[in-house]
Structure 1
């Protein structure tokens, strides 16, 4: 049975703000390796559209190896998108042939994916992480905490319906000061 792993960047004060953090070569390599160890990544519409930047970079490399390698990994991994407003992930529009719009609810699709064999499934959208935490379907939470205080934006743990106890299973520290905290749900 596969696991559903939530992986997200956040500031020290708990916000998911892509403009507040500055991933370096080491962070890009970490996420490139992560994507290589997964069968798919789940996105909500907003994050999916933000991540389309990487599709452009995959087509037109920047010359910065870590970014170009991450763009290639992002381009290759199958992306499953959940949206009530997005009508299509047509590669002629998005450029990504590796993306599909889910016809199932998040809960149905997550349960289906968990039952299949293969590599783990990643979740990369704040909104989907919150929903899956409320459904108790996250098997591991990987929080990459950057040494930045944003002072406000989108809090990661907004609208969590129940108290959730987590067990720290490992950490990874980067030279630039970011730390990945790996948690799994604690058995209560």
Structure 2
């Protein structure tokens, strides 16, 4: 069975707005490798539209920064499944709209052969946490206190106990915590 990995950046105070973090070469390389070891990423509408509005253009017009350009190519190539009640079609060639509700879709994807499945949207992470379907967290904590913004762990139904598997620290001071949720 394929592993479902929730990977997201957040500030020390729990803000998961992408504009609050440090997106340097080292972090782009880390996420490029994560994408290469996976073959599907799950997005909600807002995160999908954010990614789709930027990364395909970088593939067509590279920045000249190798880590950014390699991330763009990895993002372009990975299959994306988008959960939305309002979108009727997607422009990104490697993206498809989910046909079932999130629990059914994820359970079906996990049964298919392939690499890991990534979850990259805050709303989906919350939903999948409440459904106890996440196998691993990769929480990248940025050394920043944002003071405001979207909290990752809002609307969690139950207490969730995590087991720390390992950590990875970057030169910027950002640290990825690899956690495994203990099943209830």
Shorter-chain TM-score tier: over 0.9
Q: Deviations over 1:24-75 (max 9, x none)?
A: 1000000000000001000000000111111111111111111111000000
Give structure 1 stretches of 5+ with no counterpart.
none
Structure-2 residue corresponding to 1:113? 109
The offset of 1:114, in angstroms, is 1.2
Structure-1 residue corresponding to 2:154? 158
The offset of 1:87, in angstroms, is 1.0
TM-score, reference length from structure 1: 0.95
Runs of 4+ residues deviating >2 angstroms:
none
Structure-2 residue corresponding to 1:126? 122
How many residue pairs end up in the alignment?
183
Structure-2 residue corresponding to 1:77? 78
Structure 2: how far apart are the matches of 1:136 and 1:147? 29
Structure 2: how far apart are the matches of 1:141 and 1:38? 14
Structure-2 residue corresponding to 1:98? 94
Say whether residues 1:25 and 2:25 are aligned partners: yes
Structure 2: how far apart are the matches of 1:163 and 1:120? 25
Structure-2 residue corresponding to 1:145? 141
Native 8 Å contact 1:17 1:150 kept in 2: no
Say whether residues 1:68 and 2:64 are aligned partners: no
